[in-house]
Amino acid sequence: MIKAGIVGGTGYTGVELLRLLAAHPSVELAVITSRGEKGVKVSELFPNLRGRVDLAFVEPDGVVLKGCDVVFFATPNGTAMQSVPALLKAGVKIIDLAADFRLRQAEEWEQWYGIPHICPELLTEAVYGLPEVNREAIRSARLVANPGCYPTAVQLGFLPLLEAGVVDPQSLIADAKSGVSGAGRKAEIGFLLCEVGDNFKAYNVPAHRHLPEIRQGLTAVAGGSVELIFTPHLIPMIRGIHATLYATLTDSQVDLQALFEQRYAAEPFVDVLPPKSHPETRAVRGSNQCRLAVHRPQNGKTVVVLSVIDNLVKGAAGQAVQNMNLMFGLPEGTGLEGIALLP
Residues 6+ apart with CB under 8 A from 47: none
Within 165-208, residue ranges assigned H as helices are: 193-196
Cβ–Cβ under 8 Å, residues 81 and 117: yes
Residues 6+ apart with CB under 8 A from 279: 242, 273, 291, 292, 293, 306, 307, 308
Q: Identify which of 303, 306, 210, 201 has the alpha carbon closest to the alpha carbon of residue 254.
A: 303
3-state secondary structure of 25: coil
d(CA 160, CA 154): 12
Measured CA to CA in angstroms, residue 178 lies from 23, 77, 272 at distances of 27, 19, 21
Amino acid at 206: P
Measured CA to CA in angstroms, residue 19 lies from 34, 166, 206, 252, 330 at distances of 17, 40, 36, 46, 19
For residue 201, the tally of other CB atoms under 10 A from its CB is 11
d(CA 220, CA 236): 34
Within the chain, residue ranges assigned H as helices are: 12-22, 42-45, 62-65, 84-89, 106-113, 131-139, 149-164, 193-196, 210-222, 256-263, 318-327
Q: Considering only CA atoms, give the Rg of the chain.
A: 20
Q: What is the DSSP string of 225-256?
A: ---EEEEEEE-SSSS-EEEEEEEEBS-TT--H
Partners of 172 in beta bridges: 228
Catalytic residue selected from 119, 149, 194, 290? 149
Is 149 in the active site?
yes
- Would you please indicate which residues are annotated as catalytic (active-site) residues? 149
